[in-house]
Amino acid sequence: MSVGYSEESIKTLEWQDHIRKRPGMYIGKLGNGSQPDDGIYVLLKEVVDNSVDEFMMGAGKRIEISVVDHTVSVRDYGRGIPQGKLMDVASKMNTGAKYDSKAFKKSVGLNGVGIKAVNALSKKFIIRSIREGIAKEIEFSAGLPVREQNYASNGELTGTFIEFLPDDAVFGEYAFQDEYIEQMIRNYTYLNTNLTITFNGKEFVSKNGLLDLLNENLGGEPLYPIIHLTGNDIEVAITHSSGYGEDYYTFVNGQHTIQGGTHLTAFRESYVKTIREFYKKDFDPADVRMSLIAAISIKVEEPIFESQTKTKLGSKDMSPDGPSIRQFIGDFIKKELDNYLHKHSETASILLQKILESEKERKAISGIKKIARERAKKASLHNKKLRDCRVHYNTSDPRAEESTLFITEGDSASGSITKSRDVNTQAVFSLKGKPLNTYGLTKKIVYENEEFNLLQSALDIEDDMDNLRYNRIVIATDADVDGMHIRLLLISFFLQFFPELIRQEHLFILQTPLFRVRNKKKTSYCYSSEEREKAIRELGPNPEITRFKGLGEISPEEFANFIGPDMRLDPVRLTKDDQIFALLEFYMGKNTPLRQDFIINNLRIEEDIVEEDTIHFEDGNVTAEASFQHDTLV
């Protein structure tokens, strides 16, 4: 049957309607505030970016941020927006001062969309500019102006004030998490020394830039004092830990590029080249970068990012007429790092020893690695452990961001997910029993242990994190004692050998419903006792209540509801206060009496949820149902 197609079929949306209809094009995913890249934080960042740009141009040294309930306000003391253009800046697409690189030479926001998206996606949006004794204020609702007024500023300091209330008609139920906002603010201060930002009265300021960033985020003592190098449009901080993996914090024009990009690639290449030349030895790149922790910030004219949310740099050049990013970073590292190592012989000696130790360990397990690779290839051919998907993260497919690997335990759970998944973007890796506790073991165990070897092979992270095949690695275990134990063992494995997966926000815990409450007209899935009670009230007397005790009990048809677009994922994160080695020692080491006291003192008991074996001891590991907070590691 043909569908009518005429002039009436063609419609032109107003700018605000287009943003509200397609918010993902402007702010990425919506979310509910439970993850740091959810849309409400992007709205805040778009506003703060403008205030930071004022500071970078030498105007205003203080920014005040307030979040009360759902209402956000940002006040800077820059030059104030020219008042004759205040309406256009807030509501006319592709309008801004940043097209003129003389006014904002190296800014993050260049496309004139930023606060227009905030305006369109807010139930209430107020913008006020104070200049030369006059204040002009305009109020909007869903992008449409509702009030405009001018008045004497009465001594109010020059600058810009923006207040907005994200629209729950767009975002649904949401809540701001202070810790995510504070981390965003810390990054701003690291990259803009002497800029003071207050958040609900709490003050943040950095005097030493990226040196402060590494000092505050290191999971233990560095092997040698942090190397801090600065130059025009570039700043670098470098050290090594005693663990495994590589850990990077990268920034472009103040934007935290979580996914890296051309600047990170250039740094990794130039670092290896400089080290080889300094020691006059052709070291393997993996040995040079093992345990490397670095922060890199550059400023680029007219940067090109690979998405609107600006998490990966795509630019090849520093400016239209300038050197390539690769050459710029390479020349800087070659000169400054080489000079530093010549002047600091003790650091150079410690660094050399670290590289030699990494080389020795790599060679010691080279034979095991070869055998492990063959085992992984055979397992892949027979498809015993991995049910792969078609789209992978390390490709240019537009769906690469959606690529997900579920790590499950047991045939029934993996079977339910396998039958329910989207075969294009969701893969399943099935564990056989509980994984090994890897605390205190060397990387040799990754190749000797079949489960971990095959998991590493499935992720393709043996040689380089750039090969990572899935954007999201999701631990999907039962919400009981054994399931919690498996979660901790897997998290310990990633912390021990691949901490960058956690730092780069790739590791998650799948939340599945504990209860199903239904009557003849409606079914509600509940993830807590509170949600269950609410559903019972809404559905009326005597609804049918089912308690799910394991993933295998949920039918594939139902499971599809829990791993689709509304999938609930808790990120496994490391905060600046989390010391990796201390955490692993306490939770996974041999201090059972201390840990037992901790669990008994902190155990949270919920009715209808606690199993008979609430506390479980095995091989020096302890876990307890509902006693760990996954979004802060445990």
Q: What is the tally of helices (H) and strands (E) in the chain? A: 22, 24
Q: What would the mean pLDDT of 67-71 be, rounded to a whole number?
A: 93
* Total length of the chain: 634
- Provide the pLDDT for residue 335: 95
Cβ pair 32, 172 in contact under 8 A: yes
- Scan for tokens 């499950």, then name that residue: 408
Q: Place 76 in a pLDDT band, splitting at 50, 70 and 90.
A: very high
Higher pLDDT pick, 76 / 417? 76
Of the listed ranges 317-326, 375-384, 608-617, the one predicted with least confidence: 608-617
**Kind and range of the H or E run holding 547:** strand 544-547
Q: What would the mean pLDDT of 469-478 be, rounded to a whole number?
A: 91
3-state secondary structure of 392: coil
- Provide the pLDDT for residue 159: 94
Q: What would the mean pLDDT of 357-364 be, rounded to a whole number?
A: 88
- Provide the pLDDT for residue 1: 52
Residue of 20, 23, 86 lying closest to 50 (CA atoms)? 86
Of the listed ranges 45-59, 89-103, 308-322, 403-417, the one predicted with least confidence: 89-103
- Provide the pLDDT for residue 618: 38
The percentage of residues in the chain with a pLDDT greater than 70, rounded to a whole number, is 84
Tens digits of residue pLDDT in 437-447: 888 788 888 88
- DSSP labels for 84-131? GGHHHHHHSTT--STTSTTTSTT-S--SS-HHHHHHHTEEEEEEEEEE
- Provide the pLDDT for residue 605: 52
Residues sharing a CB contact under 8 Å with residue 326, sequence separation 6 or more, in sequence order? 262, 265, 266, 269, 270, 316
Task: Please give the DSSP secondary-structure letter assigned to residue 4.
Answer: P
- Provide the pLDDT for residue 322: 80
Amino acid of residue 77 = Y
Residue 458 CA to residue 386 CA, distance in Å, equals 7
Residue 209 CA to residue 231 CA, distance in Å, equals 13
Q: What would the mean pLDDT of 106-118 be, rounded to a whole number?
A: 67
Amino acid of residue 259 = Q
**pLDDT beyond 90 at 91:** no
Of the listed ranges 95-99, 257-261, 375-379, 428-432, the one predicted with least confidence: 95-99
Residue of 322, 325, 334, 214 lying closest to 274 (CA atoms)? 334
Classify burial at 112, counting beta carbons within 10 Å of its beta carbon; exposed 0-12, middle 13-18, buried 19 or more: middle
- Scan for tokens 């496994």, then name that residue: 572
- Provide the pLDDT for residue 614: 32
Q: Place 13 in a pLDDT band, splitting at 50, 70 and 90.
A: confident
- Scan for tokens 């074996």, then name that residue: 613
Q: What would the mean pLDDT of 62-69 be, rounded to a whole number?
A: 95
Residue 532 CA to residue 513 CA, distance in Å, equals 10
- DSSP labels for 433-472? SPPP--TT--THHHHHSHHHHHHHHHHT-SS-GGG---SE
- Provide the pLDDT for residue 111: 45
Tens digits of residue pLDDT in 291-309: 899 999 998 887 777 765 5
Domains of the chain: 16-204 (3.30.565.10), 210-364 (3.30.230.10), 366-512+550-632 (3.40.50.670), 515-547 (no CATH)
Q: Place 633 in a pLDDT band, splitting at 50, 70 and 90.
A: very low
- Provide the pLDDT for residue 334: 95
Q: What is the mean pLDDT of the chain?
A: 83
Higher pLDDT pick, 500 / 490? 490
- Provide the pLDDT for residue 615: 31
- Scan for tokens 């004794």, then name that residue: 133
- Provide the pLDDT for residue 553: 74
Residue of 143, 162, 208 lying closest to 45 (CA atoms)? 162
- Provide the pLDDT for residue 64: 97
Cα 365 to the center of its chain, rounded Å? 32
Q: Dihedral (C-alpha) 108, 110, 116, 122: value to the nearest 10 degrees? A: -20
User: How many Cα atoms are found within 13 Å in the side-chain-facing hemisphere of 574?
Assistant: 29
**pLDDT beyond 50 at 99:** no
Rounded to 5°, the CA angle 106-112-114 comes to 90
Highest mean pLDDT among 112-126, 179-193, 569-583: 179-193
Residue 378 CA to residue 436 CA, distance in Å, equals 22
- Provide the pLDDT for residue 164: 96
Residue 87 CA to residue 137 CA, distance in Å, equals 9
Residues sharing a CB contact under 8 Å with residue 196, sequence separation 6 or more, in sequence order? 61, 62, 63, 189, 203, 204, 205
Residue 441 CA to residue 452 CA, distance in Å, equals 13
CB atoms under 10 Å from CB of 384, counted, come to 12
Tens digits of residue pLDDT in 211-258: 999 988 886 788 999 999 999 989 999 999 887 878 889 998 888 887
Cβ pair 380, 386 in contact under 8 A: yes
Six-digit token string for 332 = 């800087």
- Provide the pLDDT for residue 23: 85
Q: What would the mean pLDDT of 543-572 be, rounded to a whole number?
A: 83
- Scan for tokens 């740009």, then name that residue: 53
Of the listed ranges 558-562, 581-585, 623-627, the one predicted with least confidence: 623-627
Of the listed ranges 233-247, 401-415, 577-591, the one predicted with least confidence: 577-591
- Provide the pLDDT for residue 583: 67
Beta bridge partners of 139: 126, 147
- Provide the pLDDT for residue 56: 84
Higher pLDDT pick, 93 / 517? 517
Tens digits of residue pLDDT in 169-220: 999 989 999 989 999 999 999 999 999 999 999 999 999 999 999 988 886 7
Tens digits of residue pLDDT in 144-170: 999 999 999 888 999 999 999 999 999
244 φ, ψ to 5°? -115, 170
- Provide the pLDDT for residue 237: 96
**pLDDT beyond 60 at 475:** yes
